[in-house]
Amino acid sequence: MPSAVLPNSVPQVLVQREYASSFSGDPELELLLACCAHDQTRERVQYALRSAVDWERVARLAEHHGVIAQVYTAVARVDGVLLSEMLPVRQRYDRSIHQALWLTRELLRILEHLEDCGIGALPYKGPVLAQILYGNVTSRQFADLDLLVRPDDLPKIKDALAELGYEASLRLSPPEERAYVAEGYEWVFDLGEQRNLLEIQWRILPRFYAIDFDVERFFKRAVTIELCGRSVRTLCSEDLILVLCVHAAKHAWTQLSWMREIGELSQSRALDMGAVCKEAGRLGICRIVAVGFLLANSLFGVEIQKAVQEYVQRDVAVENIVHRVLTLLSQGKEFDPESVRYFRLMMDVRERCQDRARFLSRLALTPSLGEWSAISLPGWLFPMYRVVRFLRLLRRAAVGSRVSD
């Protein structure tokens, strides 16, 4: 990242001012932020409870933002809050615990079977991230499992998972499947009535986002952690924080848990910020990383690293994007991920012209399910789907309608 110096107090003052103006007047959201604060104290949560709150809305917001565990455990320590009042939060918390324990057991079952089949896999969210950040799989809310695999292992993964009862939710013709593997990033699997339970990923993002992580390097730098008495390999801290940052950016930073997790991991003594900045520069995602860190500061009071402060001084777009995100969060709004507005944001978060150009060209010429379902072409004409994609996007852009991904 660039080397201009920014005094430590500057970004904190700027962002905290936005925070105060954005969230005052919403007691339920203020309570969530107090419960999730990096320096969370009982007094801070009590202060957030100075006004009456709608506990049903607190529960809905906490579940939506993936912080039900943090909200329940923080409020439960406060004197004067009746358990009967916070029953909606407690009920969702109990469900979150049961789901976390079941999914953790399922993850270990899957990893053991894949290992027996000679297939390497790196879990990196779900219970693994909960263990890394909090030391307890029930302290993080999650509803599915994510496994990163090598692309060369994809042909045998379906068969291996079928032996465990998993079935791919997406059914494609052979040409469509080859194109999907080349341009996409994940297979989603169901287990009986449990839909979208497992995501097998060979990229972190679809190729058109033009953020080309090296999966093989992920495997080479992987570390081992203990998960419920089992040794499990996962991403090293430097790779993990970059992955968390681009994942949050892909979803326009609309869930509080993503920024909180970025903030918590950024404070790890094991994190080599020099290596993080170097890899972010190579990938062209310095702006994305800076936005994630600045949001973690503004929302949860996480200290901003010097390297990020220096970058913010040079890149004025960062604070503009942070302001846009905070405004949407305060209004309870989200970007439509198929809208022109969303893809403009994805352009704005890239600092290099060549990355924006690659994003646009790949977006315009990468066919997807929309094109394959819109028109049926024989196998020998399959490359023409790129033309179909381009024409469909032109038509939608011309009428200001939604853009498919």
pLDDT at 56: 97
Cβ–Cβ under 8 Å, residues 239 and 246: no
178 Cβ partners below 8 Å, 6+ apart?
none
325 and 369 inside one domain: no
Q: Is the pLDDT reported for residue 401 higher than 50?
A: no
The model's confidence at residue 403, banded by pLDDT at 50, 70 and 90, is very low
- Token pair, residue 253, equals 């930073």
Check residue 177 and give its pLDDT: 85
Q: Say which CATH number the domain at 298 has.
A: 3.30.460.40
Residues 360 and 220 in one domain: no
Quote the pLDDT of residue 123. Answer: 98
**Range name among 40-49, 239-248, 282-291 with the lowest pLDDT average:** 40-49
**Looking at the structure, do residues 37 and 159 belong to the same domain, yes or no?**
yes
pLDDT of residue 258: 97
pLDDT in tens, 185-216: 999 999 999 999 999 999 999 999 999 999 99
Judged against a pLDDT cut of 90, whether residue 114 lies above it is answered with: yes
Element (H, E) at 230: strand 230-234
| 1: in domain | no
Evaluate if residue 400 carries a pLDDT over 80: no
- Which domain, by its residues, includes 43? 9-334
Indicate the number of domains in the chain. Answer: 2
**How far apart are alpha carbons 329 and 19 in whole angstroms?**
10
Lowest mean pLDDT among 1-5, 134-138, 227-231: 1-5
Name which of 1, 90, 85 is nearest 49 in CA terms. 85
Q: For 59-81, what is each residue's pLDDT tens digit?
A: 999 999 999 999 999 999 998 88
Q: To the nearest whole percent, how much of the chain has pLDDT over 90?
A: 69
Do 36 and 174 lie in one domain? The reply is: yes
* DSSP label of 343: H
76 and 167 share a domain?
yes
Task: Compute the average pLDDT of residues 138-161.
Answer: 96
* pLDDT of 303 higher than 50: yes
Predicted confidence (pLDDT) at residue 2 exceeds the cutoff of 50: no
